[in-house]
Structure formats: C-alpha cells, structure tokens
Amino acid sequence: MSSKLDQVYEVFLHLLESVTPDEAIRHMEILNGDQELLQQVRDRHEQETIKIKEREEPRSVVLGNRFTWYTGPRPKDKCWPAIKGLLAKDGWSDSSIENLDAASTKVVSMLSHPKEKAFSTRGLVVGYVQSGKTTNFTAVMAKAADRGYKLFIVLAGIHNGLRRQTQLRLEQQLVKPNPSGWMQLTDPDKDFYPPANAAAYFATANKQHVLCVIKKNRTVLEKFDQWLASAKEHLRDSPALIIDDEADQATVATGTINPLICRILNRLPKSAYVGYTATPFANLLIDPSVPEDLYPKDFIVNLPQPEGHFGTEVLFGRDALDGEDPEDVFDGHDMIRDVPDGEVHLVRPASKTEVDGFMPTISGSLRDAILYFWLTTAARRVRGKGKAHCTMLIHTSVNTSVHNSFGPPLRGLREKCLRAVEAGEQDLLDEFQAIWEKETGRVDAALFGERALQFSELEPVLAEAIRSCKIVMDNSSSKDRLDYENGPVTAIAVGGNTLSRGLTLEGLAVSYFVRAVSAYDTLLQMGRWFGYRNGYADLPRIWMTDELRDWFRHLATVENEMRRDIDVYMVEDKTPMQFAVRLRTHPKLRVTAAAKMRDAVKAEFAYGGQRIQTRYFKTDPEWLRNNQRAARELISGSIADQVTPESGTTSGRFLFRGVSHERILQFLASYRFHERSQECDTGLITAYIKRRITSASALRRWNVAIVGNPLGRPDTRMFEFTPDVQVGQNTRARLRGAITDGTVDIKTLMSRRDAAIDLRFTGSASDLTETQIVDLRRAQLPSTGLLVLYAIDKNSTPHKKTEASRDPLGLVEDAIGVGLVFPKPSGQDNAVKWTYVSADLSKVDIEEEDLTVLYEEER
C-alpha cells in the first residue's frame, strides 16, 4: 500500500503536466496546508532531479542548478511507449532501449517547462557520425509531446534525400502509433507548402501536436516563417521544440539560412532549439555574446558511443591525451587499406581543366576494393545475418561528371567478372581467393563474434553476388538514386555531397575514398563508413591515401579531447556561458569553414605534466643517420655528468643527471622529428623550454636516460653512443601497412617504467599510473625535465603476440627514438603546447549572485 507521501507526490507529478514546480506547490498549499508534508514533496522531487543530473551517461554541461520539471516517462504517456514497443519489435535489446530512455530523458529534463509564460532555450546534443542521433531526437520529441509541447519543427539538412528519410522515420515512430494525436504539415514527397488557416493548427481547442519536417532552404523557410506570422496571436500557448538535424550545416554563419532560423525562433514565444550533430565545431564557435544567435547557451549534452558502433577511434585509432598511457590507447582495427599516391590520378582529375573527358581507370587498389566488395556480399549471404542490403561507396570527387564517368568502366568490370566466374576461369578465381585469404588473415572474425569463412564457401554464391550488383551514380543531377525502400539492394554507389551527410548507406561494407577536403566537419561527415555493422563487423574495409588516414586519426584525437572537455566542465559545475570547449587545430586542415570561425579566439595548452614520444620514422637513410649523430653528440657532451650506480652496460639502461638545458636545446636543434607527429614539434618544444626557463627558472637542468637491452643477449645487436656507453638495441616493429610514403609507424615507444626511470618509489614502475608518475615528478623533480633515448634495431621483427597487426620495421639504418617528460608546474603553465580555437567568452556578461546577501538572509 502506498504511503501518504506517495499519494501526495503522485498529485504533484500530475500537476507538473500542466504547471511549473513552484505553481504546483502553491496549488497544493491551497488544497493541503500540511507544510511538513509539502516540504517532503519538495525534497523528494529534488532528489529525483539530482538523480537525472548525476546520471553518468550521457554526460553534459547544464545551465546552473536548474530545478528540472521532467523526471522521466509516466504511465499515461502515449508517444514514448509506442516508440519503445517499435524498437523492441525491431530487435533492440532491453539495455539499448534503457540507454536511449536515459539519454533522451536527460535532454528533455533540460528543456523549459511547456507551461512557462515564455522561454527561449538553446541547446546542443553531440553524437557520433551514423550513431542513431535520429532515434535519440525522435525519443526526445515523443517525451516532449507527452508533456505538452505542441509544435515540432525538424530542420532536416539541405538535401531532399535526408528530409524524406527523416519524415518517414518520424511518421513510423511518432504519427502512425497515435494518428489522432498528430497533424502533419509535410509528407515524404512534399516539403512545406503553406496550408490555409494557420491559426486553426494552434487554437487552444485543438489538442493535436503539429509536425513539420523541412529542409534548410531559403524559399521553404521563408514560406514557413510567413505562415507562422499569420498565426501570431495563437502561438503564445504553443510551446515549440525545434530539432536542427546536422546543426553545423547551413545553420551557422550563413547569410540567408541562419537569419531565417533565428527569425522563426523569435516568432515563437515558447521555443526550445536543440541542435544535433556529430561535428559540432562550428556550433561551439558561435559568438555567445549575440543573444539572437544559436550558441548553445543553456546546455551541451555529450551522447555516449553506443555499443557496437564503428566510430573514428575504432577504425583509425587516436593519439594519447594528457594523463593517458599511449600503450592503453586503442589503435584501431586493421581495416584501412592504402591507395598509393601514384594511383590517385587514375580515379580523380588532377585539375579542373582535366574534368571534361575524364575516364577513370579501374586497376590496382580500386580493383582490389571492388573484388573484395563482391566477396563480402557473398560472405554475408552465406552467413545469412544482419540487414540484406550490401553497399560499396566510391567517393573521389565533388564533380558530377566525374561520378558519371565511372559508369561504363564499372559496368564493364562487372560483366567481365561475371562471365569469368560463371565460366570457372581459374585466374580470376585465384585472384578472388588471394584477396579473401589476405583480408581475413588480417582481421580475426572471432573478435566480432563471427565465424571465419573459407573461400570455398563463398565460391558457389559469388556469381549471384556479382550479378545482383547495381551501379548507381547518386548525385544532385542523377535520376537513378540509392533506394532501400523496395527490397534488398546490392550496389556500388558513386557520388559526392548527396552521400556525405546524414543519409545512411545501408549495409556499407567497402569504401574507396580519395576526396580532398580541408575542414574537420566536412571530412568527418564524408565518412559514411561509421555506424553499425551487425552480422559483418569483421568485413568492412576502407581504401584511402596515407595522408587521409592520418587526418582521420587526428580527428579521432580532436573528438575525444572535445568530449573530455565537456565531461570535465560538467564536474566543475560550469555552463556553456562560462567555459569554451577547446578544439585542437591542424597545420593542413581547418576546424570548419572560415566564415564559421570569424568569432573564434585562439586558446593554448601547455606541455607541463605531459609525456611525448616519437612514433613515426622516415625510411630515408640520411634522415636516420642524422638522428644517430645528434644522439651521439648529446651523450658525448654529457658523459662527464654523474652516471647513477643503477645504470650501465649490464642493465642496458644509462642515466645522466644534471645535464644543462643548452645541451638539450642543441640536441633538439639537430634531431629531426617526423612532421606527422604534431606533438613532437621542435619549434613548440624549444619555445616551451625557453619560456619556462625565463618565467620560472625551471627546466634549466635535465636528466638524460638511454633505454636499451643488456649486451650479450641472443639476436640483440649493439648500438654505440660512445665507447663507454653501449646498449643492446630495442625491438619496435611497425604497424602493418604503414610504410607507403617513406614512413613507418611504431605507435608506442615509451613505457611507464621508462617515464619513471629517474624517480624514487617502492614497488614496480609498471604498477604506477600516469597520474602517480606526474605527481611523483612534481614532488621530487619539480624543475627537471627528462629526455630518454632509444636505439631501435633496423631489423626489428614482431613478437608472436603482435604478428597479426605488425610487420618487420624494414629500415636500412637503425633509428633513434626520443621520449620527453615534462614536470607539471604547481601554478599556471602558460607556455604553448598546442594551438586551439574556442568561442570568445570575453564579451559575455554573466550576472553573479551576491553571496553576502544570501548569507545575511540565512542569519
């Protein structure tokens, strides 16, 4: 039996459907004067509110300590339970539905109460590319509708395909389960066209919700704005939720679309604008001092990465962030394949003058990619799991005539291969088999819960896989578009911008991508290979150039750092008007379009407390010999310094204490870091050391260590720094596939043990965390830097545990690796490590509470 408090609290929750929390309490005071009981109701509601705010996922930055009105679904709700039921029928697990419930509740709890007299909320939800953002905002709309929001406007990108796809999804999950509760202003085949008598849609007597899914198109938005203006008197009681899908596209800093969106919001006395995007760079750089713009002043929600989602980091890996051990950072699955620079001109015109008459050549890496796609199609049919659609994406150019030029050679290859497979021509079958065995040997199907397949199982269905494959040119001028609505599709799709944002390529298994772009958001949104790969998670492959691969790895680092910024500031109880998320820059890429960055300011981050290390090495023998000379010169100049008793030839580890900073700077001037490694930038490191010397008298002295192996071990070659300093060389095999442009990538050079080589502690260094090492160094050597040298055997081969992912180093000269460990200053460290950009909060005037007055009132 429920208690009296339970019964009264139920009344309170019922009142919340119509009024704000404060008004609900006032109503209850009239009905029931039991102040103690009412205080218990307040306390209970506050506890429920805290539970929402403290949910671990999704993490967010919230406006102050707002007393939220929404604590989750209620038994009488209609829209959310309908979605929940549909997802369960579609095979969603209970845990996935629970996660969606928690994430959408978090967003709704930060909206304004629909019964408030007036409000204008601005928020941002940051998801992942192809991660189910549409499902999240559909759930948010359902819950907002269940609580009294009236008008729902979805700004569905700039292309018809995405608008249609979104309209169909919302009809299926919102409208059809409750048809009497919704009026639609748009349908899948028609964007907004003004219906007569706008006031009737918003009349108080009309209890239906109004749904409108429109493109961010000037003409459409102007029509909608004028239509709303005709119902001005009735909008006061029509709380509106505006979902801006792909909120960084066209919304920010555009001369027509941005003002129109803002004008529409200004027409609505009660409006909550929530942007959804996986690439929020432009949104985070909006000028927050302009109240009529769309900076997310009220909240930022960072959605968790769903289980089974293939994101940037999963595919490309990333660099370690501050406080992370590089050995603990996942380096991505072995699914990226190289397009040699010498083949790019075969699939993309070298200049605009070569566009006319361009005809691609299907050979080399592109031929491998296509044959592998047909193999994956056959494999998925043998397995009989997951969605029936199978798609390959070829994206080499924005030019539609280039897309169309792929038609004849692709169809020709399909017909030729089909005839050969049907005839059992052994040369082609051997080529198919070699590709399959090579690829399945590099990615273990068992890691993804899948059964490894032999080529003999694929061969009987290979001809049908090829025969059923359509060749589709999907661009703004083509009539034949990808259509997944009318049965299973197997297709090789060639396209550009129409396939680069929002639109889901169902069953995407193979991507061939050499499109040159220069902005973070554009590049990430073109990565249609992100998403879910149920039933074939071991099969996806991406062909791209080495440079593009490095760019995506950088973006994975930027994404992770951006999300960590949001998480950190939540813990520190900041708001989007009090902090600005930092976005790390890149020497060759823009964070976003120049117009969207005009209000951004530069931010800085320092080396203090960081551990950086070389991971890239050139194969150029003179480059390698130069670094050997630099290391030998440093040691020969430092040998007069103290050599600690625990170091020496027998251990393969030397330590020189008290080396002057002049020798370190000389070494840095001589040693050449690879230009791919942004953190190992000689100019930044040198500037940092000099600034610390002049500003804090720190880093004047350094400890220099050499980490190697004891001499005399079998198969260990010796490296001589000086006649008295000799070590057995280290083994560092290279990551597979990372030697295409004269560069090898070893990923990890330095261990935690090495980073603590000059510190005093009990136990094993391997048991120390990165934070503990930073704290020990600050306590013991607060002004002393550490430089560690590694002699790396040019003939290094993989250990047994790494044979699947690594190849022999393959250098002609031994390499010298360098690790640098900087002490963390006790105060502010204002010397530059990375260059960042962020929103400019300097012009924001935040009214602070007068704590003195509050304390006096308490007395």
pLDDT class of 49 with cuts at 50, 70, 90: low
The lowest-confidence range among 245-259, 283-297, 636-650 is 636-650
Between 485-494, 541-550, 762-771, 841-850, the lowest mean confidence (pLDDT) is in 841-850
Structure tokens at 711: 């001499």
User: pTM of whole model > 0.75?
Assistant: no
Cα–Cα distances in angstroms (integers) from residue 699 to residues 119, 692, 705, 776, in the given order: 54, 7, 16, 16
The confidence band for 85, taking pLDDT boundaries of 50, 70 and 90, is very high
Name the residue with higher pLDDT: 792 or 322: 792
Give 92's contacts (C-beta < 8 A, 6+ positions apart): 100
Q: What band does 440 get if pLDDT is binned at 50, 70 and 90? A: very high
What are the Cα distances from residue 777, in Å, to 611, 703, 768?
A: 12, 12, 12
pLDDT single digits (tens) 620-673: 999 999 999 999 999 987 665 555 534 555 678 999 999 999 999 999 999 999
**Which tokens go with 808?**
């022999």
Q: CB neighbours (10 Å) of residue 557?
A: 23
Percent above pLDDT 70 for the chain: 88
Output the CA–CA distances (angstroms, integers) from residue 269 to 159, 272, 296, in the order listed. 29, 10, 18
Domains, the chain, ordered by start: 1-54 (no CATH), 62-308 (3.40.50.300), 339-544 (no CATH), 553-596 (no CATH), 611-832 (no CATH)
The per-residue DSSP string of 675-734 comes to TT-SSS-HHHHHHHHHHHHHHHS-SSEEEEEEE-B-TT-TT--EEEEETTEEEEPB--PE
Per-residue confidence (pLDDT) for residue 65, from 0 to 100: 42
Separation of alpha carbons 211 and 163, rounded Å: 13
What is the average per-residue pLDDT within 311-315? 87
Locate all alpha helices (DSSP H) within 230-333, ordered by sequence. 257-267, 281-284, 312-316
pLDDT category of residue 501 using cuts at 50, 70 and 90: low
What confidence tier does 433 reach under pLDDT thresholds 50, 70, 90?
very high
Residue 295 pLDDT greater than 60, yes or no:
yes
**What percent of the chain lies above the pLDDT cut of 90?**
45
Q: pLDDT tens for residues 617-627?
A: 999 999 999 99
Count other C-beta atoms under 10 Å from residue 252's C-beta: 27
Higher-pLDDT residue of 804 and 696 is: 696
User: Would you state the pLDDT for residue 67?
Assistant: 56
For residue 101, pLDDT beyond 50: yes
Q: Is residue 356 over pLDDT 70?
A: yes
Per the CB < 8 A criterion, the answer to whether 506 and 380 are in contact is: no
What are the tens digits of pLDDT across the range 150-178? 999 999 988 888 899 899 999 999 999 99
Q: Is 119 helix (H, G, I), strand (E, B) or coil?
A: strand
Q: Would you state the pLDDT for residue 853?
A: 30
Question: Given pLDDT bands bounded at 50, 70 and 90, which one contains residue 438?
Answer: very high
Position with higher pLDDT, 701 vs 355: 701
Query: Can you tell me the mean pLDDT for 299-326?
Result: 82
Kindly report the average pLDDT of the chain as a whole number: 85
Phi-psi group of 712: left, alpha or beta (phi > 0 → left; psi -120 to 50 → alpha; rest → beta): left
